[in-house]
């Protein structure tokens, strides 16, 4: 069976009680926490820094934390987020002059490395660095804000990246972020994704358990089709 991971995006959580809300979504069945970092420069929004990540670790949040850096320049923040408790650090190729060097920096700081692609970003960057990646993140919206609709063009990119991963015989995870919800997660999974960032579609409800249970049922159906 294919292993799927749910990564609730705390950008959509209640910031007045972030620790409690994060723990609540983990207890409901979230596998990772997706941590969106925006600088009001690379993307038009300003969000969270390393101190908030450290505060979640201090609150005894122990699941993997997937830090998505939407910042430019990016290198000086990598050691700070690694020290604060990140497990995965993902960045955009446009945010650095040397993609290869930035990937090395993430590894040197003890984290798994990911490369993120905006809807209009070419996948050609992958041709040079696949061997250094643990994760590929496809943005299915233009980054900056939550509650956007999933862009259908992402399905073709998912299938393309999934083939690249298969041809390289690698264990790279394929993550999708933006507009993921109950009524499209099965099609996203069929297209090759195995990590799903879920924001407002989850945090917009009061009962996280029910939503995550329904999502798991959709993914169970996907696995049943793969088996047969």
User: What is the C-alpha separation between 191 and 158, in angstroms, rounded?
Assistant: 6
> What Cα–Cα distance (Å) separates residue 109 from each residue in 74, 83, 141?
14, 8, 29
Chain-centre distance for alpha carbon 214 = 20
Instruction: Tell how strand 5-8 and strand 195-198 pair up.
Output: parallel
Q: Which are the catalytic amino acids?
A: 36, 177
- CA trace torsion 16, 118, 150, 3 (10° rounding): -80
72 touches 41 (CB < 8 A): yes
């Amino acid at each position: 069976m294919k292993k799927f991971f749910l990564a609730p995006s705390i950008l959509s959580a209640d910031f007045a009680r972030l620790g409690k809300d994060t723990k609540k979504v983990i207890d409901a069945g979230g596998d990772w926490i997706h941590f969106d970092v925006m600088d009001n420069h690379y993307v038009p929004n300003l969000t969270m820094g390393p101190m908030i990540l450290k505060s979640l670790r201090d609150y005894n949040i122990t699941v993997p934390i997937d830090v998505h850096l939407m910042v430019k320049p990016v290198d000086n923040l990598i050691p700070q987020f690694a020290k604060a408790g990140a497990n995965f650090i993902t960045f955009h190729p446009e945010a650095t002059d040397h993609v290869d060097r930035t990937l090395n920096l993430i590894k040197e700081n003890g984290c798994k490395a990911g490369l993120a692609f905006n809807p209009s970003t070419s996948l050609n960057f992958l041709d040079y660095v696949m061997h250094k990646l643990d994760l590929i993140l496809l943005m299915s919206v233009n980054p900056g804000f939550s509650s956007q609709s999933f862009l259908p063009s992402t399905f073709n990119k998912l299938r393309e990246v999934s083939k690249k991963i298969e041809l390289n015989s690698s264990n790279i995870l394929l993550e999708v972020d933006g507009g993921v919800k109950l009524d499209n997660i099965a099609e996203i999974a069929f297209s090759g994704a195995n990590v799903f960032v879920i924001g407002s579609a989850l945090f917009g409800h009061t009962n996280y358990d029910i939503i995550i249970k329904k999502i798991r049922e959709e993914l169970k159906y996907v696995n049943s089709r793969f088996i047969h």
